[in-house]
Amino acid sequence: MLPVRRPDPAPSRWIYRLERLWLTPIVRYSVQVGLPVLVLGWMGYLVLSDKGVQDTLRAKAMNVRASIAAHPSMMVTEIKLMDVSPAMKAKVADRIGFDLPISSMDLDLGALHERITEIEAIAAARIRLPGNGVMEITVTERVPQFVWRHADGLELVDAEGFHVGPVGARSDRPDLPVLIGEGADHAAPEARALLDMASPIVDRVRALQRVGARRWTIALVDGPRIHLPEEGAAAALARVMALHEADDILDRAVSVVDMRDGRRPILRVTPDALYQVRRARGLIKEDDA
Amino acid sequence: MSYLFEAQRAMRSRREAALRRGVVAVLDIGTSKISCLVLQFAPGREAEDSAPKRSLTHGAFRVIGAATTRSRGVRAGEIAAMDETERAIRTAVQAAQKMADVRVDYVIAGFGGGLPRSYGLSGDIRVEDGEVAEPDIGHVLASCTVPDYGADREALHALPVNFTLDGRTGLNDPRGQIGARLSVDMHLLTVDAAPVHNLLHCIRRCDLELAGLTVSSYASGIAALVEDEQELGAACIDIGGGTSGISIFAKRHMIYADAVPLGGHHLTSDICQGLHVSMSVAERIKTLHGGVMATGVDDRDLIEIPAPREGMEDRRQVTRSELIGVMRPRMEEIFEEIRDRLDASGFECLPGQRVVLTGGSAQVPGLETLAQRILGRQVRVGKPLRVQGLPQAATGPGFAAAVGLALYASAPQDECWDFEMPSDRVGARRVRRALRWFRENW
């Protein structure tokens, strides 16, 4: 029986160390999980960073998207404008900015909404896609409250000072009070408040004039002009109304009621009345006597 | 003593670290085989018992990896060829690791050689404040007069075996008791330093860290003796390949250990010479047909001896009586040697005098009768304790040392270095060391 040469069963030192390293949990995990992830990630990066692959992928994605967008149930074929006055209709239709039919996937409703609300005469708009290829646009128009006369002509203004639209002549809207002067439109809320306060004389108010874009003067049809201060205009007007109620101050021969001095109202009597007063007091000799 | 104290302490702390991690390997380095068991300790063992760590709790563990390989480069329990032994250890450790599927870093090793020698030490102090406290135990252990066991030897175990408090003896744990005078009996076990250093180096070369070192006869005793044998007194004889270890237990402590440099390999070489066969054939005949008690049937029992070389028509037959005739004198020699050691140790003073045979060579049939006849005491062959997860192949008497090491790893006995050394000694030594360092460097 010849002795058989068997290989040494003992692991070499390096194999032994490798084996021990392999049994270390962190090494094992990083090789079994980390390495494949790393390799896959690297390969994916290599493939995706290629320009041609990127273009192909993008084209494919666009194709898929187009095929979905072209589906009949996604198409918008009709636009319904709800609660829109005929004059506004043209304006809104002007702002739609795309041709029908269009796929609802291509629609940018946010931008459309913005475009419609850009029209100053529109307070709010609501866009809905209820289905069946219909797009409903519901618009809340601003209600004109004033006629604003400025250097270039007449314009309608709502209660908050937004411009609603031009108007040809004052007589087109006789129901609305008139604001005059630069900056009067922006002060429209204050004007509204003043008018509400002046309700007993509201039908005598011809116009509210903004002076120097800072204070109001109320012009009456047959009476004095009321100069209101910059600050506390409403309180000053209330004082005037009290005076009027007590002494009918606005029915007398006064050309100006000046409330700008906060301490006291200053009245400017009409020249005719002044003359009469002076004559009555004997300060003036009779000319024709 | 202080150097040793530190080294053993370091090993203890490594063992604690290994237990905390939950995985530790035990390595039985024998002359004929190296076996490695990977143990897994139940997690949270430290948390669930609030008792001090040093109490003797049986840590629940299971064997998750076991491997055995033929030992190479080990002669009489000592490393004779470093490279060969290193390779054998690597083989065993790698296979066990592979089976366990975990990496082991800490290993507790047992070896059979190094001529263990036992000393009985005793120390005596006055208890400082009536009640025996932990420092008192450190003091009494430090007060033991250490015999001059030689510069080339190392203390491997220093087990406090018995405490006496004011004439009351037989105390296991005097802590907390009231008394004035405390004395201790300590069992000091020393081995040759060179084999230990070789073993340390070899294990370091395998990238492992040593968390404990013991003689394999002690480990075999832990595994093979049942509890009341350990309590009443018994001797465990671990007949291995190159050495036969003796350990005597009483009151659950090892009180004596020794080794006879004779073992199964001597039987094999006797057969080899007596029957003119090769070593491997002799080993095979020994394990298959060996025996030590001849009966009439054995004369007619023919054993085929294979031809020494292929193709040669040189087949012989020997009777089993002849084989027994070769094996028995050697076995008798071993037991006579062991009897001398047992007599020298004062074994006859113990209440129980049972002898338990274990180790690979204890599987020879009829050995109990022979041992009984020579030692004159009750003898049984002991298999190691059952351990959870141990493969069937590793439950024989040959694995008593490995299983014992596992038990030792899970529940080591208190040793001298588990207690704080009195600070005056350590401090003095530190100052002296610092002074010497100054003198050497300036």
Position B42, amino acid: A
Length of chain A: 289
Q: Which of A2, A11, A20 sits opposite B103 (nearest CB)?
A: A20
Q: Write down the pLDDT at residue B8.
A: 80
CB contact under 8 A, A23 and B97: yes
Kindly report which listed range (A132-141, A177-186, B47-56) carries the lowest average pLDDT score: B47-56
Listed as own residue / partner, the contacts of B309-315 with beta carbons closer than 8 Å and 24 or more positions apart are B309/A1, B309/A2, B310/A1, B310/A2
Q: Write down the pLDDT at residue A273.
A: 87
Q: Give the CA radius of gyration of chain B.
A: 23
Summarised one tens digit per residue, pLDDT across range B73-99 is: 888 888 889 988 999 999 999 999 999
Q: Write down the pLDDT at residue B154.
A: 85
Most confident among A166-170, A181-185, B245-249, B413-417 (mean pLDDT): B245-249
Q: Which of B91, B103, B308 sits opposite A9 (nearest CB)?
A: B91
Measured between CA atoms, how close is B40 to chain A, in angstroms?
A: 15
More reliable by pLDDT, A27 or A165: A27
Q: Is the pLDDT of residue B57 over 60?
A: no
Q: Residue range B147-157: average pLDDT?
A: 84
pTM: 0.66
Q: Write down the pLDDT at residue B141.
A: 84
Q: Which candidate in B68, B70, B87, B105 is best for mutational testing of the A interface (most A CBs within 10 A)?
A: B87
Q: Residue range B134-152: average pLDDT?
A: 83
Q: Which of A8, A11, A17 sits opposite B207 (nearest CB)?
A: A17
Helices (H), A118-217: 188-197
As to burial, measured by CB atoms within 10 angstroms (0-12 exposed, 13-18 middle, 19+ buried), residue A25 is exposed
Measured between CA atoms, how close is B206 to chain A, in angstroms?
A: 8
Average pLDDT, chain B: 85
Q: Residue range B117-133: average pLDDT?
A: 86
Q: Residue range A223-250: average pLDDT?
A: 84
**Nearest 10 degrees: Cα torsion A228, A230, A233, A239:** -50
What is the band of B51 on the pLDDT scale with cuts at 50, 70, 90? Answer: very low
More reliable by pLDDT, B45 or A219: A219
Q: Write down the pLDDT at residue B36.
A: 93
Q: How many CB atoms lie within 10 A of CB A177?
A: 19
Interface check B309 vs A, CB under 8 A: yes
Interface check B88 vs A, CB under 8 A: yes
Q: Is the pLDDT of residue B2 over 60?
A: no
Q: Write down the pLDDT at residue B404.
A: 92
Q: How far apart are CA A141 and CA B125, in angstroms?
A: 109
N-to-C CA span, chain B: 28
Interface of B with A in 93-122 (CB under 8 A): 93-94, 97-98, 101-103
What is the band of A256 on the pLDDT scale with cuts at 50, 70, 90? Answer: confident
The backbone torsions φ and ψ at residue A134, rounded to the nearest 5 degrees and listed phi first, read -110, 140
CB contact under 8 A, A2 and B309: yes
Q: Which candidate in A1, A17, A27 is best for mutational testing of the B interface (most B CBs within 10 A)?
A: A1
Nearest to residue B230, comparing CAs of B172, B149, B294? Answer: B172
Residue B408 three-state SS:
helix
Summarised one tens digit per residue, pLDDT across range B250-277 is: 888 899 999 999 999 999 999 999 988 8
Nearest to residue A184, comparing CAs of A154, A204, A205, A214? Answer: A214
Average pLDDT, chain A: 82
The backbone torsions φ and ψ at residue B356, rounded to the nearest 5 degrees and listed phi first, read -115, 125
What is the band of A1 on the pLDDT scale with cuts at 50, 70, 90? Answer: low
Q: Is the pLDDT of residue A61 over 90?
A: yes
Q: Is the pLDDT of residue A279 over 70?
A: yes
Joined together, the tokens standing for residue A196 give 């509400």
Length of chain B: 442
Summarised one tens digit per residue, pLDDT across range A101-132 is: 777 777 788 888 888 888 877 878 888 888 77
Q: Write down the pLDDT at residue A260.
A: 85
Q: Is the pLDDT of residue B427 over 60?
A: no
Q: How far apart are CA B63 and CA B51, in angstroms?
A: 25
Interface check A13 vs B, CB under 8 A: yes
Say which DSSP state A201 is in.
G
Interface check B90 vs A, CB under 8 A: yes
**Pairing of β A215-220 and β B23-29:** unpaired
Q: Report the chain A residue with the minimal C-alpha distance to residue B99.
A: A23
The backbone torsions φ and ψ at residue B82, rounded to the nearest 5 degrees and listed phi first, read -60, -45
What is the band of B307 on the pLDDT scale with cuts at 50, 70, 90? Answer: confident
Q: Write down the pLDDT at residue A39.
A: 96
For tokens 């009984």, the residue is B372
Summarised one tens digit per residue, pLDDT across range B335-361 is: 999 999 999 888 888 888 899 999 989
Q: How far apart are CA B283 and CA A139, in angstroms?
A: 108
Q: Is the pLDDT of residue B132 over 60?
A: yes
Helices (H), A23-73: 25-29, 35-48, 51-69
Q: Give the CA radius of gyration of chain A.
A: 41
Q: What percent of chain B has pLDDT over 70?
A: 90
Q: Which candidate in B38, B94, B284, B310 is best for mutational testing of the A interface (most A CBs within 10 A)?
A: B94
Q: Write down the pLDDT at residue B152.
A: 86
Contact B143, B124 (CB under 8 A): yes
Q: Residue range A10-26: average pLDDT?
A: 87
Sheet with strand B153-165: strands edge to edge = B117-126, B181-192, B153-165, B168-171
As to burial, measured by CB atoms within 10 angstroms (0-12 exposed, 13-18 middle, 19+ buried), residue A47 is exposed
Measured between CA atoms, how close is A16 to chain B, in angstroms?
A: 7
